[in-house]
Amino acid sequence: MMSAVPSSCPPAQGLYDPANEHDACGVAFVADIAGRVTHDTVEQGLNALRNLEHRGASGAEPETGDGAGILVQVPDAFLRAVLGVDLPERGHYAIGTAFLPQDAAEAEAAQRAIDAIAGEEGLRSLAWRELPVDPEGAGVGRTARSVMPRFAQLVLVSADPEMTPYALERRAYVTRKRAEHETGTYFSSLSTRTLVYKGMLATGQLQ
């Protein structure tokens, strides 16, 4: 079966083949070439996201989008200010956002199960932080709110002080995948380096 190729595509040449063309979600990248860590970079990323509204989708309820998110470098200084725990140096802890059940008892049970999985992987849960959200203020649609999970950030550290950041990154990945398969809890990310915020949102609602 032949795929439809837009007529505006150039002919096959070198490594390029127009048969590989396909639609995809819109993606934008913003980086500081000097490696400076500032909120301005995040603001520019959110502005780029808003400018990609035409790449998203919504149905009869325009306030419910098909999803939007942002990936950022782990905001070390911010986390130290809000977590209320002593964090090890940057790169020696992992953090990620879990999509937990809205029911409080079910959410606590999932957290306990994830803590146990982390322990089996040589990690220790240092903190859980409920992520503040404002669905009404952001104008999130009724459909999205009806399936909205409870968002909580998990901070993991190594139980072994000799574990390298690279090894911690691998253990965090295994913990994330096991949690998803064994508890049904989705993590948008769980990493020593990056943090993802996302949801069933339109582009202008994420911020």
The tens place of each residue's pLDDT in the chain, 207 residues long, gives 344 544 578 889 999 998 887 766 778 899 999 989 999 999 999 999 998 887 777 777 888 888 899 999 999 999 999 999 999 999 999 999 999 999 999 999 999 999 999 999 999 999 999 999 999 988 999 999 999 999 999 999 999 989 999 999 999 999 999 999 999 999 999 999 999 999 999 888 998
For residue 24, the model assigns a pLDDT of 65
For residue 7, the model assigns a pLDDT of 56
pTM: predicted TM-score of the whole model, two decimal places: 0.83
For residue 3, the model assigns a pLDDT of 45
For residue 103, the model assigns a pLDDT of 96
CB-CB contact of 199 with 67 (8 Å):
yes
What are the catalytic residues?
Answer: 25
Do strands 194-199 and 68-73 pair parallel, antiparallel, or not at all (unpaired)? antiparallel
Q: What are phi and psi of 9, to 5 degrees?
A: -75, 145
For residue 118, the model assigns a pLDDT of 98
For residue 10, the model assigns a pLDDT of 86
**Packed helices 165-183 and 104-120: angle between N→C axes, nearest 10 degrees:** 140
